[in-house]
Amino acid sequence: MRKILFTIWEIAEIFLVALIAVAAIKYFLIQPFIVNGASMEPTFTDGDYLLIDEVSYRFEQPERGDVVVFRSPQNKSIYYIKRIVGLPGEGVEVNDSTVTINGKVIGESYLPNGIRNDWSGHTSFKLSDSQYFVMGDNRLNSFDSRYWGPLEKKDIIGLVKVRLWPPADAKLFNSVQYPTATSTAN
């Protein structure tokens, strides 16, 4: 009887250690995320299953071009996925389809042809040392910093690293390299 109890205890210990390891990975290292909506099309589509890196931003700062998952500034129980366009301390202006950072137009090669001319409006912000300006790749269907303002760093959950679903589109993601900004002055 003692041997059976010892075996059961060992199995329970292994199960508990495995459960703790899985929970630690899920809640502190990697978080699954399912895209809901069209705000990041064509980069990500509704139903894409992503893995979010929750560790990198503990050691380094988010960069322009990173695609991040974050808590909504208006409702912390809602999560969004957007691309970082403006960094802390920068002046960001969006005038119709043109994004200007500190007076220089930035290139956005990841946007599909023609999408830059679809949104019309104007907004500008001076970001504090803890704020980011984020936008969806699908500018017509994205509720982002243009509407609710800058994103606080504390609300960023993590960096999109991997798309697992659909299998045909599975891939690793790296930051977008922005071309040198051009001056708006003639």
Task: Write out the two tokens for 14.
Answer: 């292994």
Of the residues 26, 39, 72, 130, only one is catalytic, namely: 39
The Cα 67–Cα 82 span in angstroms is: 6
Q: What are the angstrom distances between the C-alpha of 173 and each of 43, 52, 97?
A: 10, 11, 25
* Confidence at residue 116, expressed as pLDDT on a 0 to 100 scale: 52
Active site residue 3: no
Over residues 6-58, the pLDDT tens digits come to 788 778 777 666 665 555 555 555 677 777 777 887 788 888 888 888 878 88
The Cα 59–Cα 25 span in angstroms is: 17
pTM: 0.73
The Cα 172–Cα 150 span in angstroms is: 27
Of the residues 3, 56, 82, 109, only one is catalytic, namely: 82
CATH of the domain at 104: 2.10.109.10
User: What's the number of domains the chain is made of?
Assistant: 1
Give 133's contacts (C-beta < 8 A, 6+ positions apart).
84, 85, 86, 90, 92, 125, 127, 145, 150, 151
The parent domain of residue 92 ranges over 2-183
Over residues 128-154, the pLDDT tens digits come to 999 999 988 888 888 888 888 899 999
Range from 76-85, 148-157, 160-169 carrying the lowest mean pLDDT: 160-169
Active site residue 124: no
* Confidence at residue 73, expressed as pLDDT on a 0 to 100 scale: 84
